Amino acid sequence: MGNHVLGLEEIDQTQVAVVGGKGAHLGELSRIEGVQVPAGFCVTTEAFRRIVEDAPSIDGLLDRLSRLDPDDREAIRAGSAQVRQALEGVAVPDDVAAAVTGALARLGEDAPCAVRSSATAEDLPGASFAGQQDTYLNVVGPAEVLRHVSRCWASLFTERAVTYRLRNGFDHREVHMAVVVQRMVFPEASGVLFTADPVTSNRKVATVEACFGLGEALVSGLVNADSYTVRDDEVVAKAVATKEVALVAAPDGGTREQAVEPARRERPALTDEQAVRLVRLGRRIEAHFGRPQDIEWCLVDDGFRIVQSRPITTLFPIPEAADRDNHVYVSVGHQQMMTDAMKPLGLSLWQMTTPRPMAEAGGRLFVDVTRLLGSPAGRAAFLGVAGKSDPLMGDALRTLLDRDGFVPALPQDSPVQAVPGAEPVGIEADPALVTELIQRGEESIAALARDIRGKSGTRLLDFILADLPELKRILFDPRSHDVIMAGMQAAWWLNERLLEWLGEKNAADALSQSVPHNVTSEMGLALLDVADVIRPHPQVVAFLRDVEDDDFLDRLDGLDGGREARDAIVGYLDKYGMRCVGEIDITRPRWSERPTMLLPLLLSNIRNLEPGAGARRFEQGRQEAWKKEQDVLERLRALPDGERKAEETKRKIDLVRTFSGYREYPKYGMVSRYFLYKRALLEEAERLVRAGVLGEREDVYFLRFEELREVVRTGRADEGLIRRRKDAFRSYQALTPPRVLTSDGEALTGAYRRDDLPPGALVGLPVSAGTVEGRARVILDMATADVEPGDILVTAHTDPSWSPLFVAIAGLVTEVGGLMTHGAVVAREYGLPAVVGVEGATRLIRDGQRIRVNGTDGYVELVEAT
């Protein structure tokens, strides 16, 4: 057979480079006991390479193709068509043709065949290329098979495939095409089996879709399919569709649609017994490959043939547990307003910072709350706090608890974990307490900056390990916790009582404007002051507009007003430069490392705001809060028992005004510390690169802290491990973490369950009162933010680094968030109407569309149709 053709029985999954993803998977499938795969062979990538070498014109065409811009659709259309024509036009070399004809004779000279393309970059975990290549059915005779093999080779250069590669940086020459040729199966029924539920991700539930005739009809959406849900060897749900047509083999080759006779239309394509048997087969395949599979199958004479199996790439991974019991996990990222994937160094440092161990999955962190939910007292306390701060998480947990026996009940007398925030805190509003806590934090950071200098090698890593208890001491100081909780509880009290007494919704929002000591809000206002310094100097403004690289600060000096501009920016970075998007992950680039990230925002402030806007904003908010306070107290005094009510309310308002700003400080302290660690670790990484231990500085991000310490100690790194971690991280970036996840892999989103909304409104959680109408700006990356006054920011999540943008907008909508997450706290303080936790907001709201945000009742209306 030579090296141009391999029989399926000779192939296993290690041969992707030779037979492509589909071919390797099929070869591997045919080795699993009890799995029947239609007989066939692969035309290898070696044959494809031969063709490309034989046709010199193709080489030049590929060169031209690789230089195209992925957005230039016209050029891609023309360039890809030329390559396809060249490939289909080249005669197949004699030795390749002879090998294919010989392999066909073994299948049966005129046996109808299915010819499928199998690319080397398809069906790989993490790259879902569905439908990027072609399938031809019922191809008869050597000449036709060869013609379709050429067509498969050409399909590597469809416009979609070419654009995909240009976008994702795949080299057109690195992708090769093999072709699978199999004997055609003419099934009574066929379809798809998912060994995990594709909607809920539950690994214990399998879904079968079935139709009469060939399964391509189902995959292409031509027919409605029956669907079966199977759990524990039992069909637990079934929906039978009306199947009016089936796809069957046409006598002269190819396929055709055929009407299903009326009596069979409502009949299920599979019996329940067959569906259960198919799922058992699927479980065997899943066990062999070690991950859930999406399987295409055919039913012939009551036996199943498997024609394709690939991993389901959209499932969120399950945290590893030490036992086989049921577990319930809640997402840490949703509480931190940062649901992006984190790199291993970031994960491990955060794990070393938190008081209790967290589970990891998909580059995200989760807390196992199974024990907490198992005891009645713990459950009530946790649902109270979680449900208040993130109703979607609360609802998802309730859904789970309503199921019989998923969460194991603990004996009545077992110890209950304390739930932060469930117990009332009794402290008075004392501003000195806040200033003392802040001063202590700043002194500790100054000491760290002094002591970490000059440390390197294992001494540096041991020094950081020894400093972590100090970080924790400050971060989890009981007094610090009391200040934060006292502010939060006072706000909850005000919202509940003033609604009851005065009919005021979310009254605490207006009372929280411009509170002192909120380091995150100050950061937004301070950038307005930087804008004031630069605005009078047109030369500097023009220079900043064209800046592309991060060393621009050194080039400011020669400009008129440049030195003042540089001092203002450097001064800002000294205080806030350790912040960035996703800052809880130490590996994310900080503003000090990439100051260009702040420029769009700074320029927008210079363009859109008047001098002195920072101080004016703060003062205006303070006045509004003061007026609100006077108004509320006056109305309370007019009520029965009014003096007592007013007095109690005044005490709570003082707690909110004194303590709620501090809520942002502990994280600022933590991130400041992280940045000092990071600078020292990157210097160490530079040394490792110079010593030839690491390929590039950023490789340290893919090692956990302990592993990095070993690399520093031994001077040896595992390149394979770093490469695998980079690949894994890339695949995690494409996933969306669920708010609540179970050990069965089920992802629960939760729902608001509200029926008081205007028709068509998007529902969310009201976190900052007021209503505003304006132009939606859907912004996923803060570094590209270009906003005008009156715009409403729509984004996935806002950790503290987004707050400088808040001074420039009129309202806020996010997909993630709760009452006390950073975006909510800062929005209240700036008096911005805000709705968070709006599922799919960045998809459902179009950039530029007019929307109305109701931050009092928690919904968003689309004023213009999309």
SS3 content of the chain, % helix, strand, coil (to 5): 50, 15, 35
Quote the tokens at residue 634: 């006056």
Q: Helix, strand, or coil here: 525?
A: helix
β-bridge mates for residue 246, sequence order: 258
What are the residues facing 774 on neighbouring strands? 851
Per the CB < 8 A criterion, the answer to whether 90 and 277 are in contact is no
Q: Where are the beta strands (DSSP E) in 636-783?
A: 740-742, 747-748, 762-763, 765-768, 771-778
The contacts of residue 609 (CB under 8 Å, 6+ apart) are 528, 531, 789, 807, 808
Which class for 39: exposed (0-12), middle (13-18), buried (19 or more C-beta within 10 A)? middle
**Paired tokens of 265:** 């239309």
Instruction: Give catalytic status of residue 822 as yes or no.
Output: yes
Place of tokens 């007021």: 770
How far is residue 800 CA from its own chain's centroid? 18
**Burial annotation 21-30 (CB, 10 A radius, 16+ → b, else e):** bbbbbbbbbb
Place of tokens 């999954």: 13
Find the catalytic residue in 176, 517, 537, 822.
822
Residue 621 contacts residue 528 (beta carbons within 8 Å):
no
Angle at 178 between CA 174 and CA 180, to 5 degrees: 155
The answer to whether 247 and 216 are in contact (CB under 8 A) is: yes
Q: Going by C-beta distance under 8 Å and a sequence separation of 6 or more, which residues neighbour residue 720?
A: none
What is the pairing mode between strands 740-742 and 747-748?
A: antiparallel
- What are the start-end ranges of the H helices in 337-407? 344-353, 370-374, 376-389, 391-401
Asked if residue 727 lies in contact with residue 703, where contact means CB atoms within 8 angstroms, the answer is: no
Those residues whose C-beta lies under 8 Å from the C-beta of residue 294, and which sit 6 or more positions away, are 192, 193, 194, 195, 198, 309, 310, 311, 312
Q: Are strands 765-768 and 834-836 parallel, antiparallel or unpaired?
A: antiparallel
CB 364 within 8 A of CB 333: yes
> What stretch of H or E contains 559?
none
The secondary structure element, H or E, covering residue 740 is: strand 740-742
**What whole-number distance in Å separates Cα of residue 394 and Cα of residue 383?**
6
Is residue 181 within 8 Å of residue 142, measured between CB atoms? no
Burial pattern 397-410, b for ≥16 Cβ within 10 A else e, equals: beebeeeeebbeeb
Residues involved in catalysis: 822
